[in-house]
Structure 1
Amino acid sequence: MSEGILQPTIEKWLNLSREELDDIYRSAPAGAIPKGEMKGTAIVAGSDNAKRFAQFARMFAWQGKVFDLFPPDYEKGILINKISPFSLTFIVAKVYRDKSWMDEKDTIVIDYGQTSFVAKKIRDEIREVEKGVYLGKVWWGKKRILDFALC
């Protein structure tokens, strides 16, 4: 995928409401924990400017996540976010399987609580909607603030 082109499923997600994205998330299995570098797309659900926001965020703020520090079974480990226009890697999180705060079903948790002073209150949850395509939810404390995609 070239830098300026979004994966087709993610392109569609940018046109959906938060409720529609929630339905997709609820119906998806947790899936496999990603391995390696994943491109990220921030999703401001229901916004007429969702695509512009996603492009701006990718250029200047958040490019994705690198899942690479795992034991051989890939069931627990850590990841590093790629942020800034220079794709610097920092803001570490623990990765593991647990129950979703949204629906109590299995999900992949990205937990910054013990690894990052800056993002201490952040918890991400992701589920694999298609092979290699993940829909995520961002929580600030117990309040959901944003959706995102990884591929």
Structure 2
Amino acid sequence: MAYDVAQLLAMTQTQLDDLFRSSPAGEIPDGTAEGTAIIAPGTKYTQSIAHVINLFGWQGKVFDAKKGLLKNKVLAFGFEAVVARVYKDASWLDGQECIVLDYSDTSVLAHYIRDEIRLIGPNFYLGKVYWAKDRLIDFSLKF
């Protein structure tokens, strides 16, 4: 089944977790992805929160698969900052392979952040954000 951002924003946390668990890691992406934060999944606030975050905070990520790095597109200008290492490893959610976006060695600001992504459709990834080992939010990346 092909998914889109609107479908993800309408899902509950359980549905997002089930989709992540049932999806393959996929290949490490390359290029620019439009990002959407998924906060308070399955509530009437999810879409509004995502819109505000896209306008003022985070718009997505730019991957360099050959270097195994990415930069986040942040602030209203889409400034490329906050670097992460990118590699495959076991997910903290289910122990299966995922693509890890690791900020521990590359960012003072995001040192405790770890993202995990899996491919849920052509050029479309679902992600989980962790602070230390605590889950924070979900997000999507559309290439």
- TM category (shorter chain) comes to over 0.9
Task: Give the aligned CA root-mean-square deviation in angstroms.
Answer: 1.3
| 1:2-151 to 2 correspondences below 5 Å | 9-44=4-39, 45-68=41-64, 70-71=66-67, 77-151=68-142
Provide Cα deviations, 1:72-100, integer angstroms capped at 9, x if missing partner: xxxxx110000000100000000000000
- Aligned residues between the structures: 140
Q: CA deviation at 1:46?
A: 2.6
Matched residue type, 2:74: I
TM-score (norm 2): 0.94
Structure 1 stretches lacking a partner, 5+ long: 1-6, 72-76
CA distance in 1, matches of 2:97, 2:12: 23
The CA distance in 2 between the partners of 1:25 and 1:18, in whole Å, is 11
Partners of 2:26 and 2:119 within 8 A in 1? yes
Give structure 1 regions of 4+ aligned residues with deviation exceeding 4 angstroms: none
Greater RCO between the two (CA within 8 Å, min separation 6)?
Answer: 2
2:129/2:135 contact within 8 Å kept = yes
Rounded Cα–Cα distance in structure 1 between residues aligned with 2:112 and 2:13: 21
TM-score (norm 1): 0.89
